[in-house]
Amino acid sequence: MISITDTETEHEKHCLMQELDLMTSLLPHPNVLQLFGYCQDTEPPMLVMEYPVYGSLVEYLRDLRKSYTHVTIAGHNNFSLTHELMSFATQIARGMAYLASLKILHRDLAARSILLGEGKHCKITSFGEAQTIIDTHHYDKVCKARQAIRWMAPESIFQEDFSPKSDIWSFGILLWEIVTLGATPYSNLQASQVMKHVKKGHVLVSPPHCKPQLFSVMCKCWLIRPTTRPNFELLAEILQALHEESADLIQLEKYPADQYFILDPNRPDEIV
């Protein structure tokens, strides 16, 4: 059980109530965090939700980095860890395919918005920025908040245009986070520089320990024309097939730990 703290603003409370309304409308799905119930009669309001045993995906990935060696990470061998990471990617694609089937946009998809429950099942959460699509393609933002520029599609950054295909772009960034064990995208650039970088058509480069077959999936998510990007159902199928075909899509023995950095999301230059 969790509560909304007194330090949250009225706007944040409104967004959370909006999230609760959305979550209570969903049928249970193995890869979407389940809300069992909530009470608005208390101050602060109380929520009853699934317990994420392993915490957030981003922190789990970063904990793996902390104990990294070229032979093993936190007791995993490279094969078992690659299997685990690919499983995370496929599960998230399936969860997002379910949300997309209900015409729900997430708008803040990233490793930080995924929780890990029993059996390390990925649970999509953080629906405070999500809304049902108003028409067939686009959505008008209701709860304005700090923009996660590093995960946003170009059309979302520059035209404030959000669609199922902008969630696909964010999923490509999330895949990159998984492969790099929770590194910050574009960590060598300030958020304002990321905007200029993306506007010129640049994307993240392939991690040296990532096989081309897997990086090509990320690149499909980052196609400039939104209509040419795949949907989540297809991405789940592709990732599952790749996982079954190859056991070394992520070659952790080549992982360049000194090349990936984690930025403080509260830095002044991150607020855009």
Residues tagged in the binding site annotation for ATP:
112
Give the number of other CB atoms < 10 A from CB of residue 115.
23
Q: What is the identity of the amino acid at 145?
A: A
Cβ-contact 28, 39 below 8 angstroms: no
Q: Which tokens is 50 given?
A: 């699934």
Q: Which residues are annotated as a binding site?
A: 112
Query: What whole-number distance in Å separates Cα of residue 72 and Cα of residue 51?
Result: 28
Q: Which tokens is 21 given?
A: 């309304």
Beta strands in the chain (DSSP E): 2-3, 35-39, 46-49, 55-56, 72-73, 76-77, 104-105, 114-116, 122-124, 131-132
Residue with tokens 């967004």: 15
Cβ-contact 153, 165 below 8 angstroms: yes
Catalytic machinery residues:
108
Nearest Cα neighbor of 184 from 73, 96, 267, 105 is 267
Nearest Cα neighbor of 60 from 48, 74, 43 is 74
